[in-house]
Amino acid sequence: MEMSDAIVDQRDTADRREFGWRTVFYGFLRSRRRDLRRDVDAEVLFLDWHHPWLFFLAVGTMIFSCLDAFMTLQLIDRGMYEVNPVMRAILGQGTTAFAVSKMAMTGTSILMLVFLAKAKFMNRVRAGLFLTIFFSLYACLVCYEFVYLIRDM
């Protein structure tokens, strides 16, 4: 017991590792867990590296969500109403609550889908496919709202 206490006391208290932008870029470019480690691993759900397509879908969906929030507020000012009952109730609390809750819900959902991108839903469909579906639906919604904004001008 005394020997282990002596070893612990000899350690340097300062941690040599530093976290900065270099660490982020190095980890992004040279991630270690891209593939299976063993053949017996049937499905690896959590890797250090995700396909760049997931990054594109995640960022694109978040941008579309921001555009949707902005255009929704513009359309409501022009006499339209929010169809989603949950967002309509939040919109009753004010535009700031609407925007913050929309970004928080969308961002949390995107993070979960990217984290679980390799998982299979009902043992058939990879969760990453849902990110593609949400991206496509948001693109259609933003185009729909844009047409109504242009038509109203």
Encode the chain (153 residues) as per-residue pLDDT tens digits: 555 555 555 555 565 566 677 766 666 666 555 555 555 555 555 555 667 788 899 999 999 999 999 999 999 999 888 888 999 999 999 999 999 999 999 999 998 888 887 777 777 878 788 899 999 999 999 999 999 999 877
pLDDT (0 to 100) of residue 153: 72
Task: Let me know if 132 is exposed, middle or buried by CB neighbors in 10 A (0-12, 13-18, 19+).
Answer: middle
Q: In this predicted structure, what is the pLDDT of residue 151?
A: 87
Q: What is residue 109's predicted lDDT score, i.e. its pLDDT?
A: 92
pLDDT at 14: 60
Single-letter code of the amino acid located at 150: I
Rounded to two decimals, the pTM is 0.68
Calculate the CA dihedral of residues 60, 71, 95, 135 and round it to 10 degrees. Answer: -20
Q: What is the pLDDT of residue 73?
A: 93
Contact 76, 83 (CB under 8 A): no
Q: Answer yes or no: are the C-beta atoms of 88 and 82 closer than 8 Å.
A: yes
Domain residue ranges of the chain, discontinuous segments joined by +: 2-152
Cα 69 → chain centroid: 17
* The predicted structure's pLDDT at residue 7: 54
Q: Is 129 helix (H, G, I), strand (E, B) or coil?
A: helix
State the pLDDT at residue 129.
86
